[in-house]
Chain A
Amino acid sequence: MGGHWISLHFLTFVTITSLLGSGAKGEIPPRPINTAGPPITQNNGPQSFPEAAKTNLPLFTVDYSRIQIPFEITLWVLLASFAKIGFHVYNKITIWVPESCLLIAVGLIVGSIMHAVHEEPPAVLSSNVFFLYMLPPIVLDSGYFMPTRAFFENIGTVLWFAVVGTLWNSIGIGISLFTICQIEAFGVQDINLQENLLFAAIISAVDPVAVLTVFEDVNVNEQLYIVVFGECLFNDAVTVVLYNLFNHVAELPVVDAPDVFLGVARFFVVGLGGVLFGFLFGVVASFTTRFTGKVGEIEPLFIFMYSYLAYLVAELFAISSIMAIVTCALTMKYYVEENVSQRSCTTIRHVIKMMGSVSETLIFFFLGVVTITTEHEWNWGYISFTLLFAVVWRGLGVLVLTQIINPFRTIPFNLKDQFGLAYGGLRGAISFALVFTLPENIGRKKLFITATIVIIIFTVFIQGISIRPLIELMNVRKTNRNLDTINVEVHSRTMEHTIAGIEDLCGQWSHHYWKDKFIKFNNSFIRKILIRDSRAESSIVALYKKLELQNAMEILDSVSADISDTPLDELLPDKKPSSNPKKKFHATDLRNMHDILSKNMYKIRQRTVAYTSKYAMPNDTRSKEILIRRHASIRRSIRPGSFQNPDVARSHKYLSLPAGQNLDSQFPPKRMSHVGDSDTMSEMGYPAVRARFGRAQRPSSSSGMPLQMLDTVREAPSSVSLVDEQQPLRDSHSHSHRAPHLAGSRAPIPRQRNGSSGDNGDTARGPREEEEEAAGEEEEEQQQQQPLSPPHSWAPARQGEGRAQAPLLRPQWKPRPQPRP
């Protein structure tokens, strides 16, 4: 199957490459059509260009040179993205073969096609392009998604491996290679020490994206994971600094002691300067987002611009731009995410991920192409020794460095961990890009490129493919990182506090102590300055909220789990496991699903209310955000035009409701009454039925809670009654008008808001304002007005059909099929 798809893509590739090839030459000239006289004008006819007669306006021109560069870039990106789609069509490939391997493979194939037709790859990858446009997204991606807590808990080890380890590798490999160069048989005596060091610095940049994916999948222990992660991030920085340094040194005829000393000093200036700049920009970015609430559309832009600015300014001062952008991302992440709306937050994450993966995809893809199309200088001796030294020094480095760092670690690395660390040292995109952008005056540039490509291909293919079986075989210590339950959070916090307390008692301080101090400082000062709504929030509360949201989304996703594979999976890795069982479930028993869903929905609303009511502010953004996310997930779930059963269409009329009217609150949610409730143990543990009658226990604060009820048996009838009473005329309209109403006023229905507001002549107000207002205004009175059980007179006939709760739910899944008026 995979083969089929890939071959299908080859066709695409061939087409696009031929296009690209002709494009690369940029030779399609504007076609001259101008010399025509009156007859052509006549042919044109008066209807199209009446004035053509006067000016000899060309009828059809092609100005390819004008669009050449962006056009080609677009095509390349598209091509690489197609390749990615291809891999994921058949999942099993990406489990056993890392994506980077596949990308390189596709690149190789495209390269050979281009080679066969004697085309040159576009000269996209220049030093400037790489450093200014390709590198920042990759680094921002890893910086932004760095697991902060784990990172700071292991910061010493991470930096130790990243900085000292990279130095160790560069210097070790460089000097050994230099020794090899002295052997005459290899014929590479002309490579001097500086060049060897430069080359060694390039190939000591590890890029374990492939390894990280494997580590994530097999849940290796957090310490190992974060060290590999942090190492790849910071060692890029170190490598780039070394690269510039050696690049500079390589041009010097003679290197003497002061140069070396200056080099070392510069190393620190560059690194720490980058951190400082990044921190400054991070703070400014966080501070800015305090005020962006009103301009939600451009909110995400600030994040990208500030990070990029940090990068550029660092470049300007020739300090480590990677450190700058990483520090910037780390600094601002939490404050920004708290300031911006949920929507912006999602956008930010998506865009960062997207740009990062596009950059990387392109580089790997390009690597494959370049491997075939460039001339290589092959030198068995040099290349095989490079490979040997890269592996040996990496292994040695890990062994030695672990021995040094282990006494300082609470949890020392054992041999298996060390193997994981050493074996995870794949070389990747950064190395390739660095070597490819070497200045031309390096005599053996071609040899270096060849050697680097060999190393990358060797590590990515052989180590990358074999690391998963090896790690699984060795049974490396594992951590379950997908534990997102309230209990775990509560008890972890308890443990942390306990340990901090014990440390206080015995007068010793570790990161728990500093973490406590920082959190205190953060809450009392930093947050007040940087965050709009600066009420400190415990991680427990945060998790609680997050779980609520996730719960809501999951349940909505479960409706459609097998229809639209959730695109968010990459961003929310913790959702993956949960979606699988549901797929099967849904496939087997749709009816049962309805039932469960209705219960689930009930629970969600209930629980959500329980906390939103506490956080209700005049404009309660949180509830809005829940809405948005629920909308989004429903939209996703509905996209493929699922649930096309006629019942749904028919039942729409029962649900129609003027947009201004919101009956949601007629069944005020009961606060969770958990323990002792027998139904908490119900099927999926959700308190389904019981809560409905617990009206007496309303939450104290009853502010706008626009989350809608899915308790549609009652809701639907009541809406009918309202329609009948208040808007008889409109009721006679087509149903298609009413479905949008529903969409406008009910949260779980994402579609066609515009339609609804237009229909009401209520265009001035945003749909969300409507909801909110409606919910806010009406909740209280509704509560009193509505009788405990809805009047039965207008109950739709369907209710009698014995489908207790579920059936009426369905319309809410499927607002889509209604055509817009």
Chain B
Amino acid sequence: MMTTRTCCGRQFNAPQYSSWSLEANSHRNNMGAVQSGPTEHEFQDIADRTGFSLEQIRNLHKRFKWLNNHQETLRREDFEKVLNLSLNPIRAKIIQAFFDKRNFGMNEVGLVEEIGFEEFLTVMSYFKPPNKKLTEDETEALRTKKLRFLFNMHDTDNDGTITLEEYRHLVEKLLSTCETLEQDTAQDIADAAMLEVARTTVVHMEPHEVYEGVTFEQFQQILKGIELETKMNVRFLQVNTTTMHCGK
């Protein structure tokens, strides 16, 4: 975990994940010029890597700038300022996902303090609608990727299982908008859900064994029926929406 942060040392916190933000930082002095953002070339580069179209990247970049008040990186506080998000029961988990190294595709674990535009886009790209023509394998890969993202969201301690504690926490969060519910209910539901997983996925278990939590394979299994490809999508608009916002 990188906890230290100084004004000038900012970009060094996560160098390898924010290669672009480093780059951008070198332009920092030039800022003040009209939209001194990344160049078209850089956009193209990102587009190739993340699969977004240039137009979408431009939009998201505007949004990115808007979110962080034209800084180079995003920090948790920036996220928490978004008004609509603050009503979201699982906002903590969503925000966490943006700072989770596991989601950057670098096979590393841990959390970062701030992210650059590229990380922002990488996380966003989990929600890209699938292309029209995908082979069976590609669909499956996409599915696994999205599932892994979800799984990571729940598996906060990265031990490969969603433990009961984590599950309870999730359900409590989900139910936190209903004021009238007692906490026990959330726990009961989480318990029942765990039981359900155990029942449907564990073939056989010795009496002395203890069910530790949902593994990724089991997670995949219980969500087998859901059409993730169609559900976990955000339609990233091609048009400029910054004028339509009403958040913050």
The interface of chain A, by Cβ under 8 A from chain B, is 221-223, 410-412, 414, 479-480, 482-483, 485-488, 490-495, 497-508, 510, 513, 516, 520, 523, 535-538, 540-541, 544, 547, 607, 610-611, 614, 671-676, 678-681, 684-685, 687, 699-700
Contact of B195 among A483, A507, A672, A699 (CB under 8 A): A672
- Flag if A494 contacts B234 (CB, 8 Å): no
Q: Write out the residue numbers on chain A whose beta carbons fall within 8 Å of the beta carbon of B236.
A: 506, 508
Contact of B234 among A222, A508, A537 (CB under 8 A): A508
- Flag if B205 contacts A508 (CB, 8 Å): no
Query: Interface code B80-107, partner A: CB below 8 Å = 1, 0 otherwise?
Result: 0010110111110110010000000000
- Flag if B182 contacts A494 (CB, 8 Å): no
Task: Determine the distance from Cα of A480 to Cα of B225 in the docked complex, in whole angstroms.
Answer: 5
Task: Determine the distance from Cα of A492 to Cα of B150 in the docked complex, in whole angstroms.
Answer: 11
Interface hits, B46-71 → A, CB 8 Å: 59-60, 63, 66-67
- Write the chain A residue with the least CB distance to B180: A535
From DSSP, what is the main secondary structure of chain A's interface residues?
Answer: helix
Q: Write out the residue numbers on chain B whose beta carbons fall within 8 Å of the beta carbon of A497.
A: 88-90, 94, 174
- For the complex formed, measure the closest distance between the CB of A174 and the CB atoms of chain B, giving whole angstroms: 35
- Flag if B182 contacts A505 (CB, 8 Å): no
Query: Which of A479, A500, A547 is the most central at the interface, judged by chain B CB atoms within 10 Å of its CB?
Result: A500
- For the complex formed, measure the closest distance between the CB of A435 and the CB atoms of chain B, giving whole angstroms: 39
- Write the chain A residue with the least CB distance to B129: A410
Contact of B231 among A495, A520, A541 (CB under 8 A): A495
Given the contacts A497-B90, A504-B85, A507-B66, A486 and B196 also touching, CB distance less than 8 Å: yes
Q: Write out the residue numbers on chain B whose beta carbons fall within 8 Å of the beta carbon of A490.
A: 170-171, 174, 189, 193
Task: Determine the distance from Cα of A820 to Cα of B60 in the docked complex, in whole angstroms.
Answer: 76
- Flag if B181 contacts A504 (CB, 8 Å): no
- Flag if A508 contacts B241 (CB, 8 Å): yes
- Flag if B189 contacts A544 (CB, 8 Å): yes
In the complex, whether B112 has a CB less than 8 A from a CB of chain A is no
Query: Interface code B117-153, partner A: CB below 8 Å = 1, 0 otherwise?
Result: 0000000100101001000000000000000001001
Q: Write out the residue numbers on chain A whose beta carbons fall within 8 Å of the beta carbon of B206.
A: 678
Query: Which of A480, A500, A501 is the most central at the interface, judged by chain B CB atoms within 10 Å of its CB?
Result: A501
Using A487-B223, A507-B245, A675-B164 as known contacts, list a sample of 4 further A-B pairs with CB atoms less than 8 Å apart, ordered by residue number in A: A492-B231, A505-B63, A508-B236, A674-B192
Q: Write out the residue numbers on chain B whose beta carbons fall within 8 Å of the beta carbon of A411.
A: 129, 230, 233
- Flag if B211 contacts A676 (CB, 8 Å): yes
Contact of A491 among B59, B132, B178, B226 (CB under 8 A): B226
- Flag if A540 contacts B171 (CB, 8 Å): yes
Given the contacts A497-B89, A535-B178, A614-B184, A506 and B211 also touching, CB distance less than 8 Å: no
The interface of chain B, by Cβ under 8 A from chain A, is 59-60, 63, 66-67, 79, 82, 84-85, 87-91, 93-94, 97, 124, 127, 129, 132, 150, 153-154, 164, 170-171, 174-175, 177-182, 184-185, 188-189, 191-200, 202, 204-213, 222-228, 230-237, 241-242, 244-245, 247
- Flag if A505 contacts B153 (CB, 8 Å): no
Q: Write out the residue numbers on chain A whose beta carbons fall within 8 Å of the beta carbon of B185.
A: 541, 611, 614
Contact of A501 among B88, B207, B210 (CB under 8 A): B88
- Flag if A685 contacts B195 (CB, 8 Å): yes
Contact of B82 among A488, A505, A536 (CB under 8 A): A505
- Write the chain A residue with the least CB distance to B212: A675
Given the contacts A508-B241, A681-B211, A540 and B174 also touching, CB distance less than 8 Å: yes
- Write the chain B residue with the least CB distance to A496: B231
- Write the chain B residue with the least CB distance to A679: B207
Given the contacts A535-B178, A680-B198, A504 and B88 also touching, CB distance less than 8 Å: yes
6 contacts between A and B (CB under 8 A): A483-B225, A483-B226, A497-B90, A504-B82, A506-B59, A685-B200
Q: Write out the residue numbers on chain A whose beta carbons fall within 8 Å of the beta carbon of B154.
A: 494
- For the complex formed, measure the closest distance between the CB of B161 and the CB atoms of chain A, giving whole angstroms: 11
Q: Write out the residue numbers on chain A whose beta carbons fall within 8 Å of the beta carbon of B171.
A: 490, 540
Q: Write out the residue numbers on chain A whose beta carbons fall within 8 Å of the beta carbon of B85.
A: 501, 504-505
Task: Determine the distance from Cα of A607 to Cα of B178 in the docked complex, in whole angstroms.
Answer: 21
Task: Determine the distance from Cα of A520 to Cα of B88 in the docked complex, in whole angstroms.
Answer: 11
Given the contacts A504-B85, A614-B184, A541 and B189 also touching, CB distance less than 8 Å: yes
Given the contacts A490-B171, A502-B124, A507-B247, A678 and B205 also touching, CB distance less than 8 Å: yes
- Flag if B63 contacts A538 (CB, 8 Å): no
- Write the chain A residue with the least CB distance to B94: A501
Q: Write out the residue numbers on chain A whose beta carbons fall within 8 Å of the beta carbon of B66.
A: 507
Contact of B210 among A483, A495, A676 (CB under 8 A): A676
Task: Determine the distance from Cα of A480 to Cα of B197 in the docked complex, in whole angstroms.
Answer: 18
Q: Write out the residue numbers on chain B whose beta carbons fall within 8 Å of the beta carbon of A223.
A: 230
- For the complex formed, measure the closest distance between the CB of B5 and the CB atoms of chain A, giving whole angstroms: 22
Task: Determine the distance from Cα of A672 to Cα of B180 in the docked complex, in whole angstroms.
Answer: 22
Q: Write out the residue numbers on chain B whose beta carbons fall within 8 Å of the beta carbon of A611.
A: 185, 188
Task: Determine the distance from Cα of A504 to Cα of B247 in the docked complex, in whole angstroms.
Answer: 8
Task: Determine the distance from Cα of A498 to Cα of B185 in the docked complex, in whole angstroms.
Answer: 22
Given the contacts A487-B223, A535-B180, A538-B178, A510 and B191 also touching, CB distance less than 8 Å: no
- Flag if B189 contacts A486 (CB, 8 Å): yes
Task: Determine the distance from Cα of A610 to Cα of B188 in the docked complex, in whole angstroms.
Answer: 7
Q: Write out the residue numbers on chain A whose beta carbons fall within 8 Å of the beta carbon of B150.
A: 491, 494-495, 498
- Flag if B226 contacts A488 (CB, 8 Å): yes
Task: Determine the distance from Cα of A520 to Cα of B179 in the docked complex, in whole angstroms.
Answer: 12
- Flag if A486 contacts B242 (CB, 8 Å): no
- Write the chain B residue with the least CB distance to A543: B189
- Flag if A681 contacts B205 (CB, 8 Å): yes
- Write the chain B residue with the least CB distance to A223: B230
- Flag if A700 contacts B184 (CB, 8 Å): yes
Q: Write out the residue numbers on chain A whose beta carbons fall within 8 Å of the beta carbon of B232.
A: 495, 498-499
- Flag if A516 contacts B87 (CB, 8 Å): yes
Task: Determine the distance from Cα of A507 to Cα of B124 in the docked complex, in whole angstroms.
Answer: 12
Task: Determine the distance from Cα of A167 to Cα of B198 in the docked complex, in whole angstroms.
Answer: 53
- Write the chain A residue with the least CB distance to B242: A507
Query: Which of B87, B170, B189, B196 is the most central at the interface, judged by chain A CB atoms within 10 Å of its CB?
Result: B189
- Flag if B209 contacts A614 (CB, 8 Å): no
A-B complex: 6 closest residue pairs judged by Cβ atoms: A685-B199, A480-B225, A678-B207, A681-B205, A501-B94, A504-B84
